[in-house]
Amino acid sequence: ELILLHLSLSPSPEAATDPEVGPQGSLEQDEWCDDHSAIHRRLDAIQERMEKTVDSLDSEVTSLLNTVSETAWSVPLPPGSPQVDLLEGILTLI
């Protein structure tokens, strides 16, 4: 009986190769969690920067389109000059 008790209390050879895990987890787990958190913080910063860039570019494109539209309406073209429809690529005469 004493031998069985000793065998049941002694650690298995597999348990000896497993890393010790305390209440806070192993050092490797802590490092992995820190790396994982750092990656998410970086991704959040990149996402925020991308959103600001897209908003800025959208504002600039809208402003440029408004300027082009206003300029196109305010500049009279001489009669008979070709007009190019940029969307269709077709030349028409005015």
Amino acid at 65: L
> What's the confidence (pLDDT) of residue 44?
95
Length of the chain: 94
Name every residue whose Cβ is closer than 8 Å to that of residue 26 and which is 6 or more positions away in sequence: 19, 20
Name which residue leads in pLDDT, 6 or 55.
55
Angle at 90 between CA 89 and CA 91, to 5 degrees: 125
Q: Taking residues 9-26, report their average pLDDT.
A: 53
Name which residue leads in pLDDT, 90 or 66.
66
Each residue of 23-74: pLDDT tens digit? 555 777 788 788 889 999 999 999 999 999 999 999 999 999 888 888 766 6
Cα gap 72→92, rounded to integer Å: 16
